[in-house]
Amino acid sequence: MADSVNEARANADIEAARGSAGTDPLSADLPVSVLGRLFRLAPQLTELLDLGARDYGMGFARGRVLWALQETGPVVMRALSQRLGISPRTVTGLVDALEADGWVTRTPHPEDRRATVISITPAARAALATLRESYEALAHDLLAGLDPADLARCQSVLGAVQQRLPEVVAARTAATPPPARPRPAAP
pLDDT in tens, the chain (187 residues): 555 555 555 554 554 444 444 556 677 788 888 888 888 888 888 888 777 777 787 788 888 899 999 999 999 999 999 999 999 999 999 999 999 999 999 999 888 888 899 999 999 999 999 988 988 998 999 999 999 999 999 999 999 999 999 999 999 989 988 888 888 877 7
- Reported as type and span, the H/E element at residue 108 is strand 104-108
Q: How many C-beta neighbours within 10 Å does residue 118 have?
A: 22
> What pLDDT does residue 18 have?
46
Sign of CA dihedral 17, 18, 19, 21: positive
**29: DSSP letter:** S
The pLDDT score that the predictor gives to residue 152 is: 96
pLDDT attached to residue 21: 45
Helices (H), 20-147: 30-54, 60-72, 77-84, 88-100, 122-143
pLDDT at 20: 47
What does DSSP assign to residue 56?
Answer: T
Q: Is 103 in contact with 117 (CB distance < 8 Å)?
A: no
Which residues have CB under 8 Å from 25's CB, separation 6+? 33, 36, 37, 40
Please give the span between the terminal C-alpha atoms of the chain, in angstroms, as a whole number.
40
Cα 22 from Cα 7, distance rounded (Å): 25
**Closest CA relative to residue 116, chosen from 74, 67, 71, 69:** 74
Q: Of 109, 129, 111, 132, which Cα lies nearest the Cα of 119?
A: 109
Q: Is the Cα dihedral 90, 93, 94, 96 positive or negative?
A: positive
